[in-house]
Structure 1
Amino acid sequence: MARLSDTQTAFGAVTKLAHWLTALTVFGMIGLGLYMADLPLGAAKLELYGLHKSIGVVVLVVTLARFGWRSRQPGPGALPSHVAWEHLLAKATHLALYACLIGLPLTGWIASSAAGFPVSVFGLFTLPNLVGPDPSLQKGAAAIHSWMAWAMMGLIGLHILGALKHHVVDKDETLRRMAPHGAKSASPFL
């Protein structure tokens, strides 16, 4: 049976599930964001923006829950084979990813509020506007949201490259520790 909690040597099922669901959701959000941005204004675009906002709220809530979980689950530390610069780069990348996971939904919410478009979450409830209508604030928040999305893509690339470096070059347990199955695999990829 899968262990739910983290230990000093392994990530538990809750941490792994949160990691991989967040990753899949963010990949989908990036694709959706790029696709909907180029659509002409109309019902389809507005519907996709509504979906994008709803999923963004879910990402924000899950990220905040992850912070709560991590405060009680220190998780495994760096492997002894990791050198100081790798550990520092991994920490910085993770912090920047978390900043984007919080900053992207918040800047989107601010941009929506400033544009006078409330954030409805899957039609179930509507979030309060964070600010009043303000075209210049909307433009600024949207620009920050866009730049942060591009930064997130770069950080994801760096994160993936780091995991692959540890797996393929170093042949250590870094990637396997976060793999869904959690055990050594016969596969050369996991």
Structure 2
Amino acid sequence: MDTSLSTYSTRTVWIHWVSTVLIFGLIFTGIKMEQLSVSTEKYFLYQLHFSMGSLVFLLTIIRIIALFSDTKPKNLYPTKSFREKLRKGVYYGFYLVIIWMCTSGFLSLVLEGIVPSLQSGNWKDLPEISADGFHPIMLSHHIIAKMMFLLLLLHIAGFILHLIQKKENTLKRIWFH
């Protein structure tokens, strides 16, 4: 079988799985940061969250560029079918959500006054940010994070549904070959 018709490129596979690990790290650190008051732990989590977010942003830009040059496997469903449109909606939805999450995250660092703390290296410079005092950009970051959860659930549900209904392991399309 011609693998170019059944799998994503090696570059896309690597970006997908590295981004997946980083995104779960971002989810963990983001939730953990919300629960903490200003402390060395929260400061460390901001640094880690910022670093991982920057890497996800870079990898997503590379992956978007790769969309135009790398071969993609054939569609799972007929092009005009509801399922294929839903699959593509989730697929491209991830790009939009990730780009907005990264952009709003970077903007929030500036607008919430977190950058000076990260530059000073002193956790005591970290501002106390409460849910009532969020800048609208930071608020959008939190709201769109819920969209990321929804997309993740749809993505995983689609894999499971396809596996059950078609008895086909679509994970092979985005796995190392």
Q: Scaled by the length of structure 1, what TM-score is found? A: 0.77
The reply to whether residue 28 of structure 1 matches residue 25 of structure 2 is yes
- Supply the distance in 1 between the matched residues of 2:113 and 2:73 (Cα, whole angstroms): 45
The reply to whether residue 63 of structure 1 matches residue 63 of structure 2 is no
- Determine helix, strand or coil for the equivalent of 2:115: coil
- Determine helix, strand or coil for the equivalent of 1:7: helix
Question: How far apart are 1:173 and its partner, in Å?
Answer: 4.5
Give the aligned CA root-mean-square deviation in angstroms: 2.5
Compared with structure 1, are the counterparts of its residues 48 and 80 closer, same or farther at alpha carbon in structure 2 (3 Å cutoff)? closer
Q: Which has the higher contact order (CA 8 A, sep 6+)?
A: 2
Decide which of 158, 168, 173 is 2:164's aligned counterpart.
Answer: 168
* Counterpart residue identity of residue 177, structure 1: R
Q: Scaled by the length of structure 2, what TM-score is found? A: 0.82
Compared with structure 1, are the counterparts of its residues 67 and 82 closer, same or farther at alpha carbon in structure 2 (3 Å cutoff)? closer
- Determine helix, strand or coil for the equivalent of 1:107: helix
- Supply the distance in 1 between the matched residues of 2:49 and 2:5 (Cα, whole angstroms): 37
The reply to whether residue 142 of structure 1 matches residue 112 of structure 2 is no
Which structure features the higher share of helix residues?
2
The reply to whether residue 95 of structure 1 matches residue 98 of structure 2 is no
Number of aligned residues: 163
* Counterpart residue identity of residue 170, structure 1: K
* Counterpart residue identity of residue 93, structure 2: A
Q: In the alignment, is the contact (CA less than 8 A) between 1:110 and 1:138 conserved in 2?
A: no
Q: Which residue is equivalent to 1:15? A: 12
**Stretches of 4+ moved more than 6 A in 1?**
none
